[in-house]
Amino acid sequence: MTVMKIFVIGAHGQIGKKIVSKLVAEGDQVFAGIRQPEQAEAFEDAGAEPVQFNLMAQPEDLALAFQGMDAVVFAAGSGGQTGYDMTLMIDLDGAVKSMQAAEIAHVKRYVIISAEFTPDRSRWPRALQPYYVAKYYADEWLKTRTRLDYTILQPGTLVNDAGTGKVTVNPQVGGEITRDDVATFTVQALNAPATIGKTIAIINGSTPISDAVNQK
């Protein structure tokens, strides 16, 4: 397998950290986008290269961090502790700016972590509707306004159990999936051309991830 240079946005997040460590384990060269300098050391110890990265910046500035990368992974999220102002600034506009930055830096491959049912407004969980609005318009921008080789991963309800290595792709129903399996799917999707140009919903199931990423 070729060594890839991969930039992970939101490397310090719950899924981000797992993506970084799995990519390092695969032998890839991983650039961990972090907001706070004190997050750097842990990534250095883990064999990744920490990079100061702030999604409040303009696309032209973000693009500087993407020079020479083979892929960008968007695993950032404003999180439940901040207000919906940050949902607008990070989950929507920050995501779109990172897509524009990838294009400016001529990085073709772009994988974003979205959420199950994002494409269908009528299925958005009521209490989380504003969050889904942000995710929806970010995903739509990626699909229709960029020429990136994108993959949009839409996991079900995230849980912290141990990874199972198995998923159900595009289920009709809701379901849970471990953050570990979302990270594994992301890492394997980066090497799976069959996932390019696709929006893929995943919950835990019975298909090995290594098969799931190669399904046409």
121 binds a second copy (CB under 8 A): yes
Sheet (strand 49-52) strand order: 49-52, 29-34, 5-9, 71-74, 109-113, 149-155, 198-204, 166-169, 207-208
Count of residues for the chain? 216
Of 147, 159, 209, which is closest to residue 184 (Cα–Cα)? 209
* 3-state class percentages of the chain: helix first, strand second, coil last, to nearest 5: 45, 25, 35
Of 20-59, binders to a second copy (CB under 8 A) are 58
Stretch that binds a second copy, among 7-15, 65-73, 83-91, 103-111 (CB under 8 A): 83-91
81 binds a second copy (CB under 8 A): no
Q: How far is the CB of 141 from a second copy (least distance, A)?
A: 8
Q: List the catalytic residue out of 84, 110, 131, 132.
A: 131
Joined tokens for residue 103? 């294009």
Residues in binding contact with a second copy, number by CB under 8 A = 23
Selected binder of a second copy within 52, 54, 67, 129 (CB under 8 A): 129
| Cα torsion 128, 130, 135, 139: sign | positive
- Examine the residue annotation and report whether 136 is marked as an active-site residue of this protein: no
Stretch that binds a second copy, among 30-38, 127-135, 150-158, 176-184 (CB under 8 A): 127-135
Active site residues: 131
Question: Site residues (CB under 8 A) for a second copy?
Answer: 58, 83-89, 92-93, 97, 121-122, 129-130, 133-134, 136-137, 140-141, 144-145
